[in-house]
Structure 1
Amino acid sequence: MTSPPDPAGSDPNSDLLSQLQASAALTGPTSQDDLLAQLNAEPEPDPLADVEYTGDLETDSTAELDALAKGFRERTKREDDRFRLATDSEYWFAVCFKSREDKEAFLRAARLFALGDKYLDGYAVAHTLDIPMPTKDDDGKE
């Protein structure tokens, strides 16, 4: 099973570009490194990649269904891990000011405003403030 071919003249990256633009619109400015990491992220593995076809329709169909079922189980596990990480509330904190102006003045003075004005990547903040981190982020930066 493969995806249908792209219509003539369509950009195969248009869906990814749309997702990145929507993400940037929702989360504010994103660093070039973050965008590059998203563009270079590994695609979901092809569950049919290891299927060995015999030429027998019944055998091949069974092998494909088994591979797809395994792919769905593995994807479900990855999604469960992502969900657990996304909903874990013990990895962030909030800083509050009396006004928006005070908050923005603080972010500018700390050279953090370019990272966002509400939700900031902690690793990017640490990097900007020259704070070494005990663990590395997904990009391998400390």
Structure 2
Amino acid sequence: MTSPDDQDPNTDLLAQLQAQASLGAPLSQDDLLAQLNAPPEPDPLENVDYTGDLEADSAAELDALAKGFRERTAREDERFRLATDSEHWFAMCFKTRAAKEAFLRAARLLILGDKYIDGHAAARILDIPMPTDTPPDQNGKE
């Protein structure tokens, strides 16, 4: 029998990726690699200096955990803001489905899908340079 400590550390990430794939989330290879290579959440107890005094050490751990929760909340608030920002997409409309598909085929974009298309993948196909600014990673860093 295996304990939770013996569990593969990628299990949660793989479950998340499977859930996104099952929901039809348009993930590019770059998005998948970024998620797979994302650094783990920082250990809030990593910088606690233990003195051997149980009361002082317990207080230091509680302070570090509270700080960790505040920092995680700030990162999650920013992630939520980015995830729910509706100003990062646009829509195109054609008179018929055939016209839409003809456009996508001619632009060589049909391989990306026919409704929701990764804009960065489309820009690569269309040879359009994109700004290099990226949203912060899960640790809040650029």
How high is the TM-score relative to the length of structure 2?
A: 0.77
Q: Which moved more, 1:105-114 or 1:60-69?
A: 105-114
Select which of 95, 115, 119 maps to 1:118: 115
Q: Distance in 2 between matches of 1:100 and 1:43?
A: 44
Q: In structure 1, what residue type is equivalent to 2:14?
A: L
Q: Distance in 2 between matches of 1:72 and 1:110?
A: 47
Does the aligned pair in 1 maintain the 2:26–2:116 contact within 8 Å? no
Q: In structure 1, what residue type is equivalent to 2:62?
A: L
Give the match for residue 77 of structure 1: 74
- How many pairs were matched up? 132
How high is the TM-score relative to the length of structure 1?
A: 0.77
Q: Distance in 1 between matches of 2:130 and 2:119?
A: 10
Q: Which moved more, 1:18-27 or 1:40-49?
A: 18-27
Give the match for residue 5 of structure 2: 5
Deviation at 1:101, TM superposition (A): 4.4
Q: Cα 1:25–1:98, aligned 2, differ >3 Å: closer, same or farther?
A: farther
Q: Which has the higher contact order (CA 8 A, sep 6+)?
A: 2
Q: Which moved more, 1:103-112 or 1:15-24?
A: 103-112
Q: In structure 1, what residue type is equivalent to 2:88?
A: Y
Q: Cα 1:42–1:127, aligned 2, differ >3 Å: closer, same or farther?
A: same
Q: In structure 2, what residue type is equivalent to 1:114?
A: I
Structure 2 spans left out of the alignment, 5+ residues: 136-142
| 1:52 equivalent in alignment to 2:49 | yes
Determine what percentage of the aligned residue pairs are the same residue: 76
Q: Cα 1:34–1:70, aligned 2, differ >3 Å: closer, same or farther?
A: same
Q: Cα 1:44–1:117, aligned 2, differ >3 Å: closer, same or farther?
A: farther
Q: Cα 1:84–1:95, aligned 2, differ >3 Å: closer, same or farther?
A: same
Q: Distance in 2 between matches of 1:131 and 1:86?
A: 24
